[in-house]
Chain A
Amino acid sequence: MSRLTPRGDDLDRSPGDNIRIGQRRGRDDKSDIAAAVAGVAVEVAGSGVLILLGLAVAILMGR
């Protein structure tokens, strides 16, 4: 969004360097898998709502 006015410093060597994916907030592998499964479920449900909305419009227009 702010591409035209690059903001912020280059944080390439921020303290985040030591944060490894899967170990944020002290998570273990099992809870990481659970988070991924839950995330996928929420996103599939979200896109499903949009698809159902489209189906409803199609039914309405196709009558």
Chain B
Amino acid sequence: MARSLVAIGYYTGQMVMLLAGTMSLPLLTALVSREPVVALDFLTGMGVSFSVGAALVLVCKRGRKADLTWSQGMVVVALSWVASTALGALPYYLSGYWGSYLDAMFDVMSGLTTTGLTLVRDLDHVPDGINMWRHFLSWLGGQGIVVLALSFLIRSIPGAFKMYVGEGKDERLLPNVISTAKAIWYVSLVYLAVGAAVLWAVGVRIGLPTDRAFLHGLWVFMAAWSTGGFAPQSQNIIYYHSLAYEVVTMVFFIIGSFNFNLHWAIWSGNRREIYRNIETVTFAVTSTVLATLVLWELSRLGVYGDAVSLFRRGYYSLISAHTTTGFMTTYARQFALEWGPLSLLAITIAMLFGGSASSTAGGFKAVRIGIAFKAVVFEVRRLLYPERAVVVEKIHLWRDVVLGDKQVKSALTIIVLYVFAWFAVFAATAAYGYDLPSAMFEAASVVGNVGLSAGVTSATMPAFLKSVYIMGMWVGRLEFMAVFVFAGYILRLAKPAWITGSRA
């Protein structure tokens, strides 16, 4: 057990030191924007984070050459996310824009998990350095802290793949996991350059000053690509009052919700994959069906007067929910008060379905929905055909593969776990007296790492509920396994071996 702890401590320490390094970007932003107090907050945050990380690395230096087991890799990931949340909140708290340390941690977890719910006060006057940290955290979280570490810090460690899997990405783009991490950054940085430039141009076109248009373009792109949903203004995307801004953000958060393997396949010349892949096909079908329901209900209720408004409010919200982005072109309470039960239900389902696996998106993931649907089709076909007939169901995921029991079991298990987590968060919200539709909606937004709000999430909500939401976002982003293994590890530490009957 001691050897295991040393290995976990060493790699967690490295992750924490890396977090300290990432604070240099908001620090630089604060200095350029002449915000000395904010710069001091980030210097303090960097100092504390680096000290904690360095202390862990020094104390646990014997763990440097340890070959991580599956459980240790998962524990490192879960623990790194907790440590990053606790330490990344320091500059937020020191800035005074968050009411408590818990609120600051809520926003860091929301950023890292690419959720986008926020408890910040007076967002419209938040300094540039803080805004940079909000959106940069979201960007880093979308890539994955482990992906960041594998790209820039950890050259080559035995067991790197186990950490990579623990963070919700289970397929490599290239044979080597470190090359895969670099490829993910390569794709994202190309899109960052393209996306920020396009949004900058649109921002200037709609009348923002050039420097503000650049910062808004950069931040909004970071939030769109990472399907995060943060925005620099409290009105979110409504602030821009621009169809062009809405369409451009929609393009980038749809692409952001694609599997990194899909990006790599297309960029490597396999362009037909975009319409053959089970994930894109599933996403196209579910989003069209759910959009039809939402727009039909909104039209029936007469919430919006014309097709353009239906598209800009209804369709945008649906796709924002389905890709788990959380950008809003409506006010939060409009969902609960004006949208009607069918629209609310469709958006809730979209949030739970989510985007693609191995992407920045949350939710069940399209591949699992596709596999579950194919499994149902398989069972029906098996019953319809003669008993001796050999029935085979195929899916296209990079190549045609025969659907097996193992894949179906794995997909359904994660879906069931998501439903349990959603129900737990929903029950906790409802227990505090929030109306049931809003509680259902908010719980789906939390567990699916979406960020749309029906008005429940606010700085005045109960502290316990804030903690439940933090847990919900964490569990949803890491897709349960890393968190379960972490919990099991803690239990093992807390109880003597003769009770658990296990060894380290």
Q: Which residues of A line the B interface, CB within 8 A?
A: 1-6, 10-17, 19-22, 24, 35-36, 38-40, 42-44, 46-48, 50-51, 53-55, 57-59, 61-63
Question: B311–A43 contact, CB under 8 A?
Answer: no
Question: B414–A35 contact, CB under 8 A?
Answer: no
Complex Cα gap A63–B308 (Å): 11
What are the residues of chain B within 8 A of A36 when measuring CB–CB? Answer: 190, 267
Residue from B159, B266, B292 within 8 A of A57 (CB atoms): B292
Question: B406–A2 contact, CB under 8 A?
Answer: yes
Question: Lowest 6 CB-CB distances: which A-B pairs, in order?
Answer: A16-B175, A62-B307, A39-B267, A16-B176, A58-B311, A47-B254
Question: A58–B258 contact, CB under 8 A?
Answer: no
Q: Show 18 A/B contacts (Cβ-Cβ < 8 Å), sorted by A.
A: A1-B367, A3-B481, A10-B161, A11-B176, A11-B177, A12-B161, A12-B176, A19-B174, A39-B266, A39-B267, A46-B275, A54-B288, A55-B311, A57-B295, A58-B307, A61-B310, A62-B307, A62-B308
What are the residues of chain B within 8 A of A50 when measuring CB–CB? Answer: 254, 283-284, 287, 319
What are the residues of chain A within 8 A of B191 when measuring CB–CB? Answer: 40
Complex Cα gap A62–B160 (Å): 52
Residue from A38, A44, A54 within 8 A of B311 (CB atoms): A54
Shortest A7–chain B CB gap in Å is 9
Contacts A11-B161, A54-B315, A62-B307; is A2 near B175 (CB within 8 Å)?
no
What are the residues of chain A within 8 A of B250 when measuring CB–CB? Answer: 47, 51
Question: B194–A19 contact, CB under 8 A?
Answer: no
Residue from B70, B157, B182 within 8 A of A21 (CB atoms): B182
Residue from A4, A24, A48, A51 within 8 A of B410 (CB atoms): A4
Shortest A40–chain B CB gap in Å is 6
For A2, give the chain B residue with the smallest CB separation. B410
Question: B357–A35 contact, CB under 8 A?
Answer: no
Shortest A6–chain B CB gap in Å is 6
For A12, give the chain B residue with the smallest CB separation. B160
Complex Cα gap A51–B171 (Å): 28
Secondary structure type dominating chain A contacts: helix
Question: B178–A12 contact, CB under 8 A?
Answer: yes
Shortest B195–chain A CB gap in Å is 10
What are the residues of chain A within 8 A of B158 when measuring CB–CB? Answer: 10, 12-13
What are the residues of chain A within 8 A of B179 when measuring CB–CB? Answer: 16-17, 19-21
What band does the interface of chain B fall in when counting residues whose beta carbon is under 8 Å from A?
Answer: 35 or more
Residue from A3, A15, A61 within 8 A of B307 (CB atoms): A61
**Best-buried of B159, B254, B414 by chain A (most CB within 10 Å):** B254
Shortest B148–chain A CB gap in Å is 16
Residue from A12, A15, A53 within 8 A of B177 (CB atoms): A12
> Would you list which residues of chain B between 396 and 436 have a CB under 8 Å from chain A?
406-407, 409-411, 413-414
What are the residues of chain B within 8 A of A21 when measuring CB–CB? Answer: 174, 179, 182-183, 186
Question: B314–A58 contact, CB under 8 A?
Answer: yes
Q: Is B251 interfacial (CB-CB < 8 Å)?
A: yes
What are the residues of chain B within 8 A of A42 when measuring CB–CB? Answer: 266, 271, 274
Question: A62–B251 contact, CB under 8 A?
Answer: no
Shortest B499–chain A CB gap in Å is 26
Contacts A51-B254, A57-B292; is A40 near B310 (CB within 8 Å)?
no
Contacts A51-B247, A54-B319, A57-B288; is A14 near B165 (CB within 8 Å)?
no
Contacts A16-B179, A62-B299; is A3 near B479 (CB within 8 Å)?
yes
For B250, give the chain A residue with the smallest CB separation. A51
Complex Cα gap A4–B288 (Å): 31
> Would you list which residues of chain B between 190 and 228 have a CB under 8 Å from chain A?
190-191, 194
For B190, give the chain A residue with the smallest CB separation. A36
Shortest B190–chain A CB gap in Å is 5
What are the residues of chain A within 8 A of B308 when measuring CB–CB? Answer: 58, 62
Shortest B140–chain A CB gap in Å is 20
Question: A58–B268 contact, CB under 8 A?
Answer: no
What are the residues of chain B within 8 A of A40 when measuring CB–CB? Answer: 190-191, 194
Question: A1–B371 contact, CB under 8 A?
Answer: yes
The proximity string for B residues 166-184 relative to A, scoring 1 for CB distances below 8 Å and 0 otherwise, is 0000111011111100110
What are the residues of chain B within 8 A of A44 when measuring CB–CB? Answer: 251, 255
Complex Cα gap A36–B251 (Å): 17
Residue from A2, A39, A54, A59 within 8 A of B291 (CB atoms): A54
> Would you list which residues of chain B between 68 and 125 have a CB under 8 Å from chain A?
70
Question: A57–B165 contact, CB under 8 A?
Answer: no
Contacts A50-B284, A54-B291; is A4 near B413 (CB within 8 Å)?
yes
Complex Cα gap A35–B160 (Å): 29
